[in-house]
A and B are shown apart, each in its own frame.
Chain A
Amino acid sequence: MNPVRKRRLIITLLIFGAVGVATTLSVFALQKNMTYLYSPTEVDAGKAPDGHPFRLGGIVKEGSVHRVPGTLTTDFVITDRFQSIPVSYTGILPDLFRVGQSTITTGKLENGKFVATQVLAKHDSTYMPPQVEQAIAKAEKEHRVPKPAQGGGAP
C-alpha cells in the first residue's frame, strides 16, 4: 500500500471509529435518559413505571392547590378530566402555574402520589403543549364519551 492510501485508510478508520463510538454512546445515553410522558388516565391504568422518573401532563384541577404551611411544598391535582393524580412539589412554582392551566411535571410515583422535581408551565397562557392536548384527546377517545365541560377556562 502506498503511503497516501495508508494514510487515507487510517483517517477513514479513525472517522468510522469515532462515529461508531459516538453512535453507541448516544444510543445508550438516549435509552437511559429518555423520560416518557403519561396522562393521568394512563397512570391510573398502571402504564407508568413505578419508582422510575416520568413526566405527567395535564391540567391543574380547580380548587386543588394547597400549600403546606411554613414550607415550600405545594400539593395539587393533575387531571385530564377523566382521572386525577395527586402531585406534591417542593420548590418555587413557575409564573404561569395556575389552576385550569395545562402543565407538565417531572417526577416519580411514590405510594400513589406523584412527587415532582420539576414543574413546567409555558410562556403562552392560552397554549396547551401538544403532548398534553394529545393525552387529553386520547383519554377522551378511549372513554368514548363526549368532551366534558371544561371549567375554569381550560383551553
Chain B
Amino acid sequence: MNPELGQVALILALVLSALQCVLPIIGAWRGSKPLMATATTLAIGQAVFVALAFGILMWSFWINDFSVAYVAQNSNLSLPWFYKLSAVWGAHEGSLLLWMLILNGWTVALVVLGGKLPEAFFSRVIGVLGFVAFGFLLYMITTSNPFLRLFPVPPNGADLNPVLQDPGLVFHPPTLYMGYVGFSVAFAFAIASLLGGELKSTWVRWARPWTNVAWGFLTLGIVAGSAWAYYELGWGGWWFWDPVENASFMPWLIGAALIHAQAITDKRDGLRAWTLLLSIFGFAFSLLGTFLVRSGLLTSVHAFAFAPARGVFILVYLAVVVGGSLLLYALRAPKVTGGKSFALASRETLMVIGNLMLTVACAMVLLGTLYPLVGEALNIGRISVGPPYFGPLFLILMTPLVLALPFGPLSHWGKADLKVWRNALVRIIALAVVAGIIGFIVGARGWYQLLGITAAVWVMAGVALFAIKRWREAPRGKRYPFEMLGMMLAHFGIGVFIAGAILTTSMSVEQDVSMKPGASVDVGAYDFHFNGVTETQGPNYRAQQGTVVITRNGKHIVTLHPQKRTYSGGQVQTEAAIEAGVFRDLYVSLGDSIGDGAWSLRVYDKPFVRWIWGGGVLMMLGGFAVVLDRRFRLKRAVEPETVHAKPEPETPRKLAEGEA
C-alpha cells in the first residue's frame, strides 16, 4: 500500500478532528440536536483514518519498504517480524502515531460505553477530545511526518536501536501511552463540566472509571519500563530518577491524587474545585511528559537528538491547553465549586493529607527535573540533579502518607471517631512491631531493613484490619464491592512495593569483578563460577556468550548465559542473564574482555526485587477492579438534559458554605 495514502489519511483525520472540536460544542451550546449528533460520526471517522494511517505504516515495516525514511531508519531486513511491527512505535514519529491511535481508541470507547451520558455533556466531552486530537495531528503533520520518502531508496535499513529489540518495546510504550492518553478523558470530562457549567458533580462519577483505568495502565507502563531498564540497561537498577522516568511518574502521582479526590467529590460532594484542578493537571503532566521525552532538552537514557522546533510546538500546545483550561477554570469554577465540609479527623481529612503529599511530591519531582533547564536558561551553569536529591526527599514526603494510609479506610466519612483510630492504631503498631521482631529473628539486620519490614506490614495490616472490619460489619454479599476491593488491592500493593523497594536496596549484593575462565566468586550465599566465553549467532547479531554456573553450598542452582551482542548495524548491546525468583534474583551481565583471557562481569544477588513490580501490578489490578463496581453502571441519561443556551446566571448555590 502506498505510504502517501497514510499521509492523506492523517490529513483527513486532522480535518475531522477540527470539526469534532467545533461542531459538537457549538451544538451543545446552541442546543442543536443535529450538531450534537455529529460527535459520534466525527469521532469514529477520525479513528478510522488514524487507524488506517497506523496500519499503512505497519504494512510499510512488514514489507520492508525502505523508501519510507522512518522505516529505513528503524528497521532492517533481518529484524525478527515482531520487532518489525513494534518498531512502528520505536522512534519519535511512529510513537506519536501510536499516541493518536490510543487517543482515538479512548474516544471510540467513550462513544460505545458513554451513550447513556446526557447528550450535551457527551458532545462537549467529545469536542474537547477533538481539540486534543487536533493539536497532536497538526504537530505530527507539520513536524513529524512518519511517511516521508527517502531517495535514493537504501537496499537495507539502519536497524532498530538494539536497546529496543526486546519484548519490553512491545508492551512498555503502548501501556504507558494508554495511561498518559487516558488522562485526557478525565480532562475532557472536567473541561466539559466547566464549559457546560454543570452544577451537580455527577460528572465526577462518570469520570471515575475512566480515571481508574488510565491510572491502572500508567502503573503497568511504569512497571514495564522499570523491569525493562532492570534487565536491558545491564546494570540492574530499577529506578534512576531519570528525567524521562520522572515524566511518567509525575502524572502517576497526580493520577493517584485525582482518584482519591474524585472519590470524595463523588461520594461526599466535597473538594470539587480540587478535583477539577487535578483533572487539568493530570493531563497537563501527560503532555509535559511527552514534551520532555520528545524535545531532547534533557540528558537522559531516553534522550535522542531531535529538532528543537518539535519541542517548541509541544511547549506552545501545552501552554494553550493548560493556560486555556486554567482560564476557563478561573471563569467558571466559582460557579461550580463548593460542597460539603467535613470534620478534622474524618476520612476526608486523611485523603486530603494523602492528596497533599502526592501533589507536593509531584512538585518536588517537577522542580528537580526542570531545574537543569532553568539553570541553563539563567546561565547558572549546566547542572544535573540526581538520585541524592529525589530519593531522600521522596522518602520524607511519603512518610506521612504511609503513616496515614491504613487509617483512611478505617475511619468514617464526614465525622471524627477517635475511638476507631485508637483501636486501629494499637493493633497496627502491634502487628508492625511483631513483624519487625520476626524480621530480626529471621536475620534482618540494620535499621533500614527493619524499618522497611515494619512500614510494609504497617500498610498491609491496615488493609487486613479493614477486610476484617467489613467482614464483621457488612451484610453478606455486600462486604467487598469492587470499588472497595480495588482500594484494598492497590493499598496492599503499596505495602508489597515498600517491602520490595527497601529490602532490595538494603540487602542487594552487587559486585563488579574480573574473572578468568575457571574462577569463582562468592556473592551473598551463592558461588558464581565462570566457565568462559563462546561465540554464538542470533538472527541479526553475533554474540559473545558467557557461561556462569551458580551453586549454593555445593548444590547447583542455575547456569546463566549473559551475552554481549553486536548487531548488524554495529551497535553493541549487553544482555544480562537473570535467574528470577519470588524471594531473590540472581543477575549476571557480561562486561568486556580485559586481556589475559579475563572478563569483567557484574554479579548481583538481589533479594525481593520482584516485589517492587508485584506491588505495581497489584496497584494496577486495583485500578481496574474499581471499574466493575455497580456504582458506575450508567442507568440511562440520568436526567432529561436541559441544554443551557447560555451560561446560567450566578445561582445562589453556595448556600451551605460558610453557614453550615
Q: What residues of A have a CB within 8 angstroms of the CB of B327 in the complex?
A: none
Known contacts A18-B356, A34-B383, A135-B382; A127/B304 CB under 8 A: yes
Known contacts A7-B341, A10-B344, A34-B383; A124/B360 CB under 8 A: no
A35 contacts B383, C-beta separation under 8 Å: yes
A55 contacts B302, C-beta separation under 8 Å: no
Known contacts A67-B595, A131-B382, A135-B382; A91/B304 CB under 8 A: no
Q: Is B430 in the interface zone, CB < 8 Å from A?
A: no
Interface of B is mostly: mixed
A34 contacts B371, C-beta separation under 8 Å: yes
B382 contacts A128, C-beta separation under 8 Å: no
A129–B356 CA distance with the chains assembled, in angstroms:
36
Chain B 364-378 near chain A by CB (<8 Å), digits 1 or 0: 100110010001000
Known contacts A25-B393, A33-B388, A131-B299; A70/B596 CB under 8 A: yes
Q: Is A1 in the interface zone, CB < 8 Å from B?
A: no
Q: Is B598 in the interface zone, CB < 8 Å from A?
A: yes
Known contacts A19-B360, A29-B393, A128-B305; A95/B234 CB under 8 A: yes
Known contacts A36-B383, A129-B299; A30/B592 CB under 8 A: no
In the assembled complex, the CB of A17 is this many whole angstroms from the nearest CB of chain B, namely 10
B397 contacts A22, C-beta separation under 8 Å: yes
Q: Which size class do B's interface residues fall under?
A: 35 or more
| Residues from 434 to 455 in B contacting A, C-beta threshold 8 Å | none
Q: Is A126 in the interface zone, CB < 8 Å from B?
A: yes
A29 contacts B392, C-beta separation under 8 Å: yes
Listed stretches B523-531, B569-577, B646-654; interface member = B569-577
A37 contacts B161, C-beta separation under 8 Å: no
Residue from A4, A30, A90 within 8 A of B385 (CB atoms): A30
A134–B308 CA distance with the chains assembled, in angstroms:
15
A18 contacts B303, C-beta separation under 8 Å: no
| Residues from 99 to 143 in A contacting B, C-beta threshold 8 Å | 104, 122-131, 134-135
Number of chain A residues close to chain B: CB under 8 A: 47
A92 contacts B602, C-beta separation under 8 Å: yes
B382 contacts A37, C-beta separation under 8 Å: yes
In the assembled complex, the CB of B165 is this many whole angstroms from the nearest CB of chain A, namely 12
B600 contacts A124, C-beta separation under 8 Å: no
Q: What residues of A have a CB within 8 angstroms of the CB of B512 in the complex?
A: 72, 90-92
Q: What residues of B have a CB within 8 angstroms of the CB of A96 in the complex?
A: 571-572
Chain A 5-27 near chain B by CB (<8 Å), digits 1 or 0: 10110110001001100100110
Q: Is B591 in the interface zone, CB < 8 Å from A?
A: yes
Known contacts A7-B344, A30-B368; A15/B382 CB under 8 A: no
A126–B341 CA distance with the chains assembled, in angstroms:
58
B341 contacts A72, C-beta separation under 8 Å: no
Q: How many A-B residue pairs have CB under 8 A?
A: 126
Q: Is A69 in the interface zone, CB < 8 Å from B?
A: yes
Q: Is A71 in the interface zone, CB < 8 Å from B?
A: yes
Chain A 57-96 near chain B by CB (<8 Å), digits 1 or 0: 0000000000101111000000000000000001111111
Q: Is B82 in the interface zone, CB < 8 Å from A?
A: no
Q: What residues of B have a CB within 8 angstroms of the CB of A33 in the complex?
A: 385-386, 388-389
Known contacts A22-B397, A124-B304; A36/B596 CB under 8 A: no
B514 contacts A71, C-beta separation under 8 Å: yes
Chain B 476-518 near chain A by CB (<8 Å), digits 1 or 0: 0000000000000000000000000000000000001110000
A7–B658 CA distance with the chains assembled, in angstroms:
11
Q: What residues of A have a CB within 8 angstroms of the CB of B600 in the complex?
A: 72, 92
B161 contacts A123, C-beta separation under 8 Å: yes
B356 contacts A69, C-beta separation under 8 Å: no
Nearest-CB residue, chain A, relative to B570: A125
| Residues from 23 to 56 in A contacting B, C-beta threshold 8 Å | 25-26, 29-30, 32-38, 55
Using a CB–CB cutoff of 8 Å, the interface residues on chain B facing chain A are: 161, 163, 234-235, 296-297, 299, 301-305, 341, 343-344, 349, 352, 356-357, 360, 363-364, 367-368, 371, 375, 381-386, 388-389, 392-393, 396-397, 512-514, 564, 570-574, 589, 591-592, 594-596, 598, 600-602, 658, 660
A sample of 26 cross-chain residue pairs with beta-carbon separation below 8 angstroms, ordered by A number, consists of A4-B341, A11-B344, A11-B349, A19-B360, A22-B397, A30-B367, A34-B371, A35-B386, A36-B383, A55-B384, A67-B594, A69-B594, A69-B595, A70-B514, A71-B514, A72-B514, A72-B591, A92-B589, A95-B571, A95-B573, A122-B299, A123-B301, A124-B161, A124-B304, A124-B305, A127-B304
